[in-house]
Amino acid sequence: MTPPIRILLADDELLIRTALSQMLDLEPDLDVVAEAPTGTLAVPLAIKHAVDVAVLDLQMPGLDGIAVAEELAEQLPDCRCVIVTSHGRPGHLKRALAAGVRGFLPKTTSAATLAAVVRSVHDGGRYVDPELAAEAIAAGDSPLTPRETDVLELAASGAPIDEIADRASLSPGTVRNYLSNAMTKLDAANRHEACAIARRLGWI
Amino acid sequence: MTPPIRILLADDELLIRTALSQMLDLEPDLDVVAEAPTGTLAVPLAIKHAVDVAVLDLQMPGLDGIAVAEELAEQLPDCRCVIVTSHGRPGHLKRALAAGVRGFLPKTTSAATLAAVVRSVHDGGRYVDPELAAEAIAAGDSPLTPRETDVLELAASGAPIDEIADRASLSPGTVRNYLSNAMTKLDAANRHEACAIARRLGWI
DNA sequence: TCGGATTCATGACGTTTGTCATCGCGAGGT
DNA sequence: ACCTCGCGATGACAAACGTCATGAATCCGA
């Protein structure tokens, strides 16, 4: 008889975390040994309990799920990561895969799937929600340069050019050029539409 | 011995729905008799099963939690509604209360609280998360007129004035006036910042 | 080592926004 | 009856924004 799989569960919503934890614990071969309400707390906890699999919510205060996966890849390389998310943006999937994440699935999947993915990932397998995978392939890669992405991110709050320039330590003219480039690449009529598009695709 | 409380659970995320359902079912006096993945399906299901309490996620495709509560208030007046949400915006709380919702809590609360609120609400009590209540009081009422709200909502997608005017069947000049008014009232530097503020407060 | 991409900048130009004054109309309150 | 408020519109003006041409420095891969 193999020992149960040791799991860390990270999600900022206590209600969801407890519910999910109880549900996974119902499986005899799964054992939730640690829970974290933030990404920042998740890393040391995973190490301390030497968990086999980390089930990470994507959007959390502090470190997000992908950042946690990156940290764990370095500090606890034997730990496999599964990302669970409400909003399945193509860009997120790509970043997650690049971070060495082994499983990626939306919260709309069934409980049985989650348990199956945890087991499969623990055995060295991989799993990506087919729908999300298709979207990611269809969306392609971000056409934005790193700096364009930065600037667009700053623009997302709705700040005027001068403030963006200030926060990015750039001249206002440069900011406008970057935004103009981004708008062209994203085929948007103005920078706010560009933000909306980039956000939808997970590029910012 | 009183019969168990009959519950409908509506949430678009299957994983969360099952987890929450299992968790509530663990309580001997609570009985989840129906589950719905959308608001549209929730209403007839609640009626069919004559549920005592409806636990509704706020953000769902189709009818959102508040809309469901409004429907149920008409069609199944004996049913009490509890709203559960990830994003606790002050405006949503107000709308919910106006719709006759008896319980309102964020997903960051504990499982014990949820169960307690379901029981309390079933007995005719009310419960609002204290933090959210404080925020709602601090934020005050929306200063926007209905039409200003409409236009701001259309502006939220990042569309240019002409498109907004088109979709609202207004002249472009009128749209600019409404947006200008909204910006003044919300103390924003441009309409996109105004959208961000209004969204944060749950006014759009 | 050479070309290409990225980063940062400037100036000029036209368009889009934001602001303000002003108007008419209808609904609601005192 | 009067006044206020919300709704819808116009026109004029200034500021912000988007576009384009252009240039220089850096870095990276062929």
DSSP sequence for A118-165: HHHHHTT--EE-HHHHHHHHHH------HHHHHHHHHHTTT--HHHHH
Please name the helix (run of DSSP H) or strand (run of DSSP E) that holds residue A73, with its range, or none: helix A65-75
Partner residue facing B158 (CB), from A19, A109, A192: A192
pLDDT of B50 reads: 96
E strands along A77-129, which residues?
Answer: 80-85, 103-106, 127-128
Task: Give rounded-to-5 percent helix, strand, coil for chain B.
Answer: 55, 15, 30
E strands along A11-140, which residues?
Answer: 30-36, 53-57, 80-85, 103-106, 127-128
The residue lying closest to nucleotide C20, measuring its CA against C1', is B177
3-state SS, residue B22: helix
Asked if residue A103 lies in contact with residue A81, where contact means CB atoms within 8 angstroms, the answer is yes
Positions on chain C within 7 A of a protein C-beta: 5-12, 16-22
Does the CB of B161 sit below 7 A from strand C?
yes
In the block, which residue shows the tokens 């920078």? A191
Residue A114 CA and nucleotide D25 C1' are separated, in Å, by: 51
Substitution target in A16, A27, A84, A85 with the highest count of B β-carbons within 10 Å is: A16
The β-bridge partners of A85 are: A106
The β-bridge partners of A53 are: A7, A80
CA distances from A27 to A86, A111, A113, A162, B149 (A): 23, 11, 12, 55, 49
pLDDT of A24 reads: 96
Sign of CA dihedral B86, B88, B91, B93: positive
pLDDT of A144 reads: 95
Using only C-alpha atoms, chain B has a radius of gyration, in whole angstroms, of: 19
pLDDT of B139 reads: 86
User: How does residue B82 score in pLDDT terms, banded at 50, 70 and 90?
Assistant: very high
Distance CA B14, CA A22 (A): 16
In angstroms, what separates the C-alpha of A11 from chain B's closest C-alpha?
A: 10
Per-residue pLDDT tens over the stretch B158-169: 999 999 999 999
Distance CA B153, CA A116 (A): 42
pLDDT at B1 over 80: no
pTM for this predicted structure:
0.91
Which chain A residues touch B if contact means CB-CB below 8 Å? 12-16, 18-20, 22-23, 26, 84, 86, 106-111, 114, 157-160, 188-190, 192-196
pLDDT at B140 over 90: no
Reading the block at residue B57, the tokens are 């996620």
Q: Do B157 and A196 touch (CB under 8 A)?
A: yes
pLDDT of A31 reads: 96
Average confidence (pLDDT) over B22-39: 96
pLDDT of A46 reads: 97
In angstroms, what separates the C-alpha of A15 from chain B's closest C-alpha?
A: 5
pLDDT of A2 reads: 84
**CA B153 to centroid of chain Cα atoms:** 17
Domains of chain B, each with CATH number or no CATH = 5-138 (3.40.50.2300), 146-200 (1.10.10.10)
In angstroms, what separates the C-alpha of A14 from chain B's closest C-alpha?
A: 5
Q: Which of B54, B73, B65, B50 is nearest to B12 (CA)?
A: B65
Distance CA A8, CA B90 (A): 33
pLDDT of B179 reads: 97
User: How does residue B100 score in pLDDT terms, banded at 50, 70 and 90?
Assistant: very high
Closest residue in chain B to residue A163, using alpha carbons only: B189
Substitution target in B192, B193, B197, B199 with the highest count of A β-carbons within 10 Å is: B192
Residue B50 CA and nucleotide C17 C1' are separated, in Å, by: 53
Instruction: Quote the mean pLDDT of chain B.
Output: 95
What residues of chain A score a pLDDT lower than 50? none
Q: Do A23 and B26 touch (CB under 8 A)?
A: no
